[in-house]
């Protein structure tokens, strides 16, 4: 069965009054309406019962001791995490420095220890070199 528009309007006003959102003038009108309407009083009573049931599901506010314990655990966990990250960063930094030193050492060894001197001289011409020069210098025979 469809709810009449007037009933819907009162439901909205009742809800606002029940939630403490009605103005003083609206609250007075809603209280007067509740005195005359058993259906509206029954709705408000259902809402109160529902609110009480829901309140049972809500946890109590934590005590100062519980808050302190939670804060301590959080801070300990955070400090632990920061310590682990800092330790990992130190290890990575050491590895990077070691690799950098190794690379630099290899570069120095390549430049200083393993390089071939650039001031090498050609050997004296051998007998074969002389024979090749004479052959190339000789005019071709015309047979």
**How does pLDDT run across 82-119, given as a tens digit for each residue?**
999 999 999 999 999 999 999 999 888 888 876 655 55
Residue 131 has pLDDT above 80, yes or no: yes
Q: How much of the chain is in helix, strand and coil states, percent to nearest 5?
A: 75, 0, 25
Rounded Cα distance, 58 and 128, in Å = 107
Cα 108 from chain centroid? 42
Evaluate whether 25 touches 16 at the Cβ level (below 8 Å): no
Q: Quick check: pTM over 0.85?
A: no
């Amino acid at each position: 069965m469809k709810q009449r528009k007037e009933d819907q309007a009162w439901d909205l006003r009742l809800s606002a009054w029940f939630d403490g959102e009605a103005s003083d003038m609206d609250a007075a009108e809603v209280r007067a309406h509740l005195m005359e309407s058993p259906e509206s009083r029954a709705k408000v009573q259902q809402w109160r019962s529902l609110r009480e049931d829901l309140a049972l599901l809500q946890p109590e506010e934590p005590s100062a001791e519980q808050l302190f314990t939670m804060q301590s655990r959080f801070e300990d966990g955070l400090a632990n995490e920061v310590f682990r990250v800092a330790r990992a960063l130190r290890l990575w930094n050491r590895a990077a420095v070691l690799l950098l030193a190794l690379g630099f050492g290899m570069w120095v060894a390549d430049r200083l220890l393993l390089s071939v001197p650039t001031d090498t001289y050609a050997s004296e011409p051998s007998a074969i070199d002389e024979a090749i020069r004479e052959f190339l210098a000789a005019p071709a025979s015309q047979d």
